[in-house]
Amino acid sequence: MHWQTSRFRLDLSRPLVMGIVNVTPDSFSDGGRHADTAAALRHGEQLLKDGADILDIGGESTRPGSPRVPLEVELARVLPVVRAAVSWGVPLSVDTYKSAVMQQVLDLGADIINDIAALREPGAAEAVAAHPACGVCLMHMHRDPQTMQVQPMAGDVLPPVLSFLELRAQALQALGVDKARIVLDPGIGFGKTVEQNFALLARQGELLAAGYPLLAGWSRKSALGAVTGLDAPQRTIPSVAAAVLAAERGAHVLRVHDVRETVQALKILAAVQAAAPRPGPP
Ligand code: 7PM
Among protein residues, the one with the nearest Cα to ligand 1's atom 17 is: 217
The answer to whether residues 48 and 71 touch, using CB atoms and an 8 Å cutoff, is no
| pLDDT higher than threshold 80 for residue 29 | no
Give the active site residues. Answer: 221, 255
For residue 31, what pLDDT band results from cuts at 50, 70 and 90?
A: low
pLDDT for residue 106: 98
Task: Please provide the average confidence, as pLDDT, over all residues in the chain.
Answer: 95
Q: Is the CB of 127 under 6 A from ligand 1?
A: no
pLDDT of residue 25: 77
Indicate whether 21 pLDDT > 60. Answer: yes
**pLDDT at residue 240 above 60?**
yes
* Res 214: pLDDT: 99
Average pLDDT over residues 177-205: 98
Confidence of residue 151 (pLDDT cuts 50, 70, 90): confident
User: What confidence tier does 278 reach under pLDDT thresholds 50, 70, 90?
Assistant: confident
Report pLDDT for 152.
83
Does the C-beta of 65 come closer than 6 Å to ligand 1? no
| 27 pLDDT more than 60 | no
3-state class of 73 per DSSP? helix
Q: Evaluate if residue 71 carries a pLDDT over 70.
A: yes
Hey, which residues does 214 pair with through a beta bridge? 184
What is residue 187's predicted lDDT score, i.e. its pLDDT?
Answer: 98
Specify the pLDDT at position 62: 62
pLDDT for 280 equals: 79
Per-residue pLDDT reduced to its tens digit, 202-239:
999 999 999 999 999 999 999 999 999 999 999 999 99
Please state the atom number of ligand 1 nearest to the C-alpha of residue 114. Answer: 18
**Among protein residues, the one whose CA lies closest to atom 1 of ligand 1:** 63
How remote is the CA of residue 271 from the centroid of ligand 1, in Å? 29
139 lines ligand 1 (CB under 6 A): yes
Residue 28 pLDDT level (bands cut at 50, 70, 90): low
State if residue 165 touches ligand 1 by the CB under 6 angstroms criterion.
no
* CB 85 less than 6 A from any atom of ligand 1: no
Nearest-atom number in ligand 1 for the CA of 189 is 20
Instruction: Count Cα neighbours of 148 within 13 Å in the Cβ-side half-sphere.
Output: 20
Residue 177 Cα to ligand 1 midpoint, Å, equals: 24
- pLDDT of 147: 83
- 93 versus 26: the higher-pLDDT residue is 93
Please report the atom of ligand 1 found closest to the CA of residue 221: 19
Cα(130)–Cα(151) distance, rounded to whole angstroms? 36
Domains parsed from the chain with CATH numbers:
2-275 (3.20.20.20)
Residue 182 confidence class, pLDDT cut points 50, 70, 90: very high
Residue predicted with more confidence, 154 or 85: 85
Which 3 state secondary structure label does DSSP give 184?
A: strand
Whole-angstrom distance, CA of residue 56 vs CA of residue 200: 22
- CB contact set of 72 (below 8 Å; sequence gap of 6+): none
